[in-house]
Structure 1
Amino acid sequence: MSKKTNTLWFMVAATVLNIVLMLVLFLACFILITRFVDPASSLVPLWLGLSFLVSIGGSFWLYSVLIKWMAKRFNLEENLAPLFNKRKKKPRREE
């Protein structure tokens, strides 16, 4: 497989990993809410919103830690192509 194909599969797998991490964190927060918060409380929507934000932030943090570890462990810089190439600047035409 080429580097571009490796990059494509890595990005697909990393995206799925990020979504799974977010779902797991949201479910963990939801389970904690159902265990420790009174269902008749008026603060349940606030707790749910907070758990949503924690799941997004926590998944972003875990994702970045895992990707940095994988890049170091599996030497990904050699096996993956850059996503965005730098464009060469064309000289300006003076009229």
Structure 2
Amino acid sequence: MSKKSNTIWFMLAATVLNVLIMLILFVICFILITRFADPSSSLVSLWLGLSFLVSIGGSFYLYSVIVKWMGKKFNLEDKLAPLISKRKNNRRRED
């Protein structure tokens, strides 16, 4: 397999992992809300919104930690193509 195809498969797997982490964190927050918050309280919607933001932020943080760890452990820099390549310096000639 080429580096570009390895990069595509890695990004697809990493995206699925990120979504799974987000769902797990949201379910954990939802369980904590149902266990500790009063269901008749007007703050339940605030807690749900906060848990949504925590799950998004936590998933991005855990995703970055896992990807950095995998990059070091499996030496992914040699196996994956760079996502952002450097542009060639094409300057216009000024007359």
- The TM-score by the shorter chain falls in which range? over 0.9
1:8-87, aligned counterparts within 5 Å?
A: 8-87=8-87
Cα RMSD of the aligned pairs, angstroms, is 0.8
Superposition misfits of 4+ residues, deviation over 3 angstroms: none
Q: Quick one: percent identity of the two aligned structures?
A: 74
What's the offset of the Cα at 1:85? 1.3
Equivalent pairs counted in the alignment come to 95
Q: Deviations over 1:33-89 (max 9, x none)?
A: 011111000100010011001101110111011011100110000100101211101
Q: List gaps (5 residues or longer) in structure 2.
A: none
Q: Which amino acid aligns with 2:57?
A: G
Distance 2:93 2:19 in 1: 47
Q: Which runs of 5+ in 1 are unaligned?
A: none
